[in-house]
């Protein structure tokens, strides 16, 4: 069997799609499983050009460039290049993203079937599918396993995920943490309403430092305003660590604890079996919560209401949540 998965991003979404594909790999170890992914998240699937344990080949896209210049000749040319995948003669293409762009990539790849949800994130995407399948299950991990299984005529139960190792990133993280007990704070999220207030992160960092943790703040860039603000609010209890996705994987592997909102680093920690405390607000943890083999505590204040609207206003439940609640959850997992 030859299969192409289209799930371009973001980090948490890729991690939530992987358990379904890991289950398929276990069920059919000799299948060809390829994947289309945004270049930023490539380390989730391969290490320095070497395929990981789940995927044979990963084909990269440049979504940031595409979004900035959606109708430029370069964007159109790169999109049309996916017609070259027709030479792979895929038996099945499964769109686990659900956007017009991902459905178009799947259609250009030319598999015998192109399957996706009957109610994709962008409804126009369904017009390109040859098979429109119902969304089954509550958590997106279960939904992904049901979608992939039904598309292939199999029964798949989500399986634990093994991520690739990048030696330089493992060495860098090992040297950074050494033998210290590190807690990684992940203050950023997809939109501001999912972010715990900076001042709360600062207070938590002080308390964690008092408990003997080396407190690190994740930042994707040196000029990351949010990470710098958390470090400043911690009054010296935390320091910013700038790293790319490969470095983040290595760092999380060696962390004793990760604390953050509904964000990529939190879902990465859960996938790697690292203890995690997830602070949820406008998104539903029953649908989007951390999934993995490690100890997980999800905190959500009753004042939070489920809304996937990308609001810039602070979620009232997250605004009410105090560091003492996080510390109480910590006592149950560390």
Quote the CA–CA distance of 209 and 240 in Å, as a whole number. 14
In sequence order, the 6+-apart residues with CB closer than 8 A to the CB of 284 are 306
Percent of the chain exceeding pLDDT 90 equals 88
Q: Give me the pLDDT at residue 66, please.
A: 67
Q: Does position 8 have pLDDT exceeding 80, yes or no?
A: yes
Q: What share of the chain is helix, strand, coil (3-state, %, to 5)?
A: 45, 20, 35
Q: Does position 96 have pLDDT exceeding 70, yes or no?
A: yes
Lowest model confidence (mean pLDDT) among 49-63, 101-115, 178-192: 49-63
Can you list the pairs that 22-29 forms with residues at least 24 positions away whose Cβ atoms lie under 8 Å? 22/54, 22/158, 22/159, 22/160, 22/161, 22/162, 23/145, 23/156, 23/157, 23/158, 23/159, 24/148, 24/152, 24/154, 24/156, 25/53, 25/54, 25/159, 26/159, 27/154, 27/156, 28/1
Q: Which H, E and C letters describe 164-212, residue by residue?
A: CCCHHHHHHHHHHHCCCCEEEEECCCCCHHHCCCHHHHHHHHHHHHHCC
Percent of the chain exceeding pLDDT 70 equals 98
Q: Does position 258 have pLDDT exceeding 90, yes or no?
A: yes
User: How confident is residue 62, by pLDDT bands cut at 50, 70 and 90?
Assistant: confident
Domains defined for the chain, CATH in brackets: 2-152 (3.40.50.2000), 167-330 (3.40.50.2000)
Q: Give me the pLDDT at residue 78, please.
A: 79
Mean pLDDT of all residues belonging to the chain:
95
Q: Does position 334 have pLDDT exceeding 90, yes or no?
A: no
Record the pTM.
0.95
User: How confident is residue 69, by pLDDT bands cut at 50, 70 and 90?
Assistant: confident
Phi first, then psi, for residue 96 (nearest 5°) are -95, 5
């Amino acid at each position: 069997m030859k299969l192409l998965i289209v799930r371009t991003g973001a980090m948490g979404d890729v991690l939530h799609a992987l358990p379904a594909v890991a289950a398929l790999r276990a069920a059919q170890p000799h299948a060809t499983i390829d994947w289309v992914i945004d270049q930023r998240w490539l380390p989730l699937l391969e290490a320095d050009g070497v395929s990981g344990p789940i995927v044979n080949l990963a084909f990269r896209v440049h979504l940031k460039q595409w979004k900035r210049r959606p109708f430029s000749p370069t964007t159109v040319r790169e999109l049309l290049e996916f017609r070259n995948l027709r030479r792979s003669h895929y038996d099945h293409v499964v769109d686990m993203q659900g956007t017009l762009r991902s459905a178009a990539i799947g259609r250009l790849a030319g598999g015998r079937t192109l399957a996706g949800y009957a109610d994709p994130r962008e409804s126009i995407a369904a017009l390109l599918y040859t098979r429109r399948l119902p969304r089954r299950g509550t958590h997106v991990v279960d939904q992904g396993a049901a979608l992939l299984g039904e598309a292939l005529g199999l029964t798949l139960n989500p399986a634990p995920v093994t991520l690739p190792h990048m030696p330089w990133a493992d060495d860098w993280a090992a040297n950074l943490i050494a033998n210290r007990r590190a807690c990684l704070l992940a203050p950023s999220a997809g939109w501001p309403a999912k972010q715990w207030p900076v001042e709360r992160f600062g207070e938590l960092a002080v308390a964690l430092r008092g408990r003997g943790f080396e407190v690190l703040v994740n930042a994707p860039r040196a000029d990351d305003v949010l990470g710098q603000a958390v470090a400043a609010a911690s009054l010296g209890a935390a320091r910013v660590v700038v790293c790319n996705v490969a470095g983040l994987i290595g760092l999380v592997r060696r962390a004793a604890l990760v604390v953050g909102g509904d964000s990529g680093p939190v879902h990465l920690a859960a996938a790697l079996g690292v203890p995690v405390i997830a602070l949820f607000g406008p998104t539903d943890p029953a649908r989007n919560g951390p999934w993995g083999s490690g100890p997980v505590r999800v905190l959500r204040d009753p004042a939070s209401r489920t809304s996937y609207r990308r609001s810039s206003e602070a979620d009232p439940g997250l605004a009410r949540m105090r560091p003492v609640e996080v510390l109480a959850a910590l006592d149950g997992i560390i």
